[in-house]
């Protein structure tokens, strides 16, 4: 029953089938839910073959934007005007009558259940009231369970981010204090690095931690220097971890340029460019920071915090100290990953009502026509790139 403890949505649906079979006195039943792509998928069933489920999966008697979908009952399959593929599958399964009942959550269609009968069946008003009550209870229970799962995911993600942030801050503090200088110099350096990290986190928060454009990171880091910095690169969205890495790296490069490099005089310029190259089944981000027009520079006697941070953050980095300026090359191997944001997770039910999926719509219980949902919306996910 639905009031028994369950650990997943599938278990809720499996328990609900017992209530459907008992409450509607049907011989077979099934429950389908909309997946992230907006397609009806079987999640629980009784007495239905693989062939039957394959023929009916992905289909719905209601369009996704229908405000108030009503149950569709077919008292005699043989007399109904069904599409050929559906009629063949239903008759081959020995089903003579069936009913489709919408399952709603917070005003959106999230699925349906089907009650199947081996003989002709006239659906009474009492049966329809029972069916609607079961559908409301099922929708409420699924929505509650999904909300719990979303909260658990959000809490776990928050804990993970906090732990990572503390590790980064600890590393910054350790390396800042180990780099020498006075206490006042260490304090100023530590505060500026924390500000760079905080800026990266604000950008991530604005994107709901779904990733930040590399171009946005570069432009914000070099905004104080105006036209002295030339920026060129294609659109690349970085994961939260890579966002923090590049934000700190750019802060160190810019700080070094202000103290010793191209930004330490009035004539120097900085050029920042990046491309994404494909080859051998991989995509590689090739990032270049180049300083020109500054004072002559020498190779430092020992690596400073900036160099140490760059080499700790990226596996393929090269810093070249040339007489006319510093050049830094960073290569990052990218792998595409599809990630749903927390906002998308919280709206999983509403997204189901907006996605495009094949649908059957009907003006009456016995007249069906094929149509395609006119709304053409992409799934709420973002292509991100993360370093392997």
d(CA 207, CA 17): 41
pLDDT score recorded for residue 149: 78
Under 8 Å between Cβ of 249 and 288:
no
Q: Determine the pLDDT at residue 83.
A: 85
Per-residue confidence (pLDDT) for residue 21, from 0 to 100: 93
Which residue from 89, 57, 95 is spatially nearest to 75, judged by alpha carbons?
A: 95
Q: What are phi and psi of 358, to 5 degrees?
A: -60, 140
* pLDDT of res. 36: 79
- Would you write out the chain's pLDDT as a tens digit for each of its 388 residues? 444 455 788 889 989 999 999 999 999 999 999 887 788 899 999 999 999 999 888 888 887 677 889 999 999 999 988 888 888 899 999 999 999 999 999 888 999 999 999 999 999 999 999 999 999 999 999 988 888 877 777 666 666 656 666 666 766 676 666 666 677 777 777 777 777 777 777 776 776 767 788 999 998 888 888 889 999 999 888 888 888 889 888 988 998 898 889 999 989 999 999 999 886 677 899 999 999 999 988 787 777 777 888 888 898 999 998 888 999 999 998 854 322 333 333 333 333 333 322 333 333 333 333 333 333 333 222 223 333 3
In the chain, where the domains are located: 9-149+344-377, 151-339
Cα 337 to Cα 388: distance, rounded to the nearest angstrom? 11
Strands 367-372 and 358-364: antiparallel
d(CA 300, CA 302): 5
Nearest to 192 by CA among 273, 248, 118: 248
Fold of 151-339: Heat Shock Protein 90 (3.30.565)
**Are 250 and 215 within 8 A, CB to CB?**
no
Q: Which pLDDT does position 176 carry in this prediction?
A: 66
Q: Give dist(CA 60, CA 112) in Å, integer.
A: 8
CATH architecture of the region 9-149+344-377:
2-Layer Sandwich (3.30)
Kindly report whether the global pTM for this prediction surpasses the value 0.85: no
Q: Torsion angle of alpha carbons 256, 257, 263, 267, nearest 10°?
A: 140
Instruction: Return the pLDDT at 175.
Output: 64
Nearest to 291 by CA among 267, 266, 270, 260: 270
Look at residue 137 in the predicted model and tell me its pLDDT: 92
Confidence at residue 178, expressed as pLDDT on a 0 to 100 scale: 65
**Cα separation, 163 vs 91, whole angstroms:** 58
């Amino acid at each position: 029953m639905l009031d028994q403890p369950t650990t997943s949505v599938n278990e809720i649906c499996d328990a609900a089938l017992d209530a459907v079979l008992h409450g509607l006195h049907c011989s077979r039943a099934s429950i389908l839910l909309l997946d992230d792509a907006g397609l009806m998928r079987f999640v629980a069933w009784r007495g239905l073959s693989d062939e039957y489920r394959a023929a009916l999966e992905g289909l719905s008697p209601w369009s996704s934007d229908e405000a108030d979908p009503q149950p569709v009952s077919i008292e005699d399959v043989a007399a109904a005007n069904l599409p050929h593929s559906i009629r063949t599958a239903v008759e081959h399964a020995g089903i003579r009558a069936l009913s489709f009942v919408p399952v709603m959550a917070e005003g959106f269609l999230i699925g349906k259940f089907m009650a199947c009968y081996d003989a002709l069946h006239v659906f009474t008003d009492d049966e329809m009231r029972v069916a609607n009550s079961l559908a409301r209870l099922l929708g409420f229970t699924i929505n509650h369970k999904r909300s719990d799962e979303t909260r658990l995911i959000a809490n776990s993600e928050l804990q993970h981010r906090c732990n990572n942030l503390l590790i980064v801050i600890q590393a910054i503090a350790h390396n800042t204090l180990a780099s020498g200088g006075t206490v006042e110099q260490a304090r100023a350096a530590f505060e500026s690095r924390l500000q760079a990290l905080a800026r990266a986190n604000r950008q991530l928060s604005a994107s709901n931690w779904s990733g930040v454009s590399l171009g946005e990171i570069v432009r914000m880091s070099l905004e104080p220097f105006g036209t002295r910095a030339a920026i060129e690169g294609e659109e690349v969205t970085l994961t939260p971890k890579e966002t923090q890495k590049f934000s700190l790296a750019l802060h160190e490069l810019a700080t070094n340029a202000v103290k010793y490099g191209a930004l330490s005089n009035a004539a120097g310029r900085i050029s920042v460019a990046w491309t994404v190259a494909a080859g051998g089944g991989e995509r590689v981000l090739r990032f270049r920071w180049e300083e020109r027009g500054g004072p002559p520079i020498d190779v430092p006697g020992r690596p400073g915090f900036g160099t140490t941070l760059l080499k700790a953050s990226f596996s393929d980095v090269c810093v070249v100290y040339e007489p006319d300026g510093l050049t830094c090359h960073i290569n990052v191997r990218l792998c595409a990953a599809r990630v749903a944001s927390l906002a998308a997770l919280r709206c999983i039910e509403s997204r189901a009502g907006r996605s495009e999926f094949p649908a059957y719509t009907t003006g009456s219980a016995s007249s069906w026509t094929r149509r395609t949902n006119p709304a053409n919306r992409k799934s709420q996910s973002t292509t991100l790139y993360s370093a392997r």
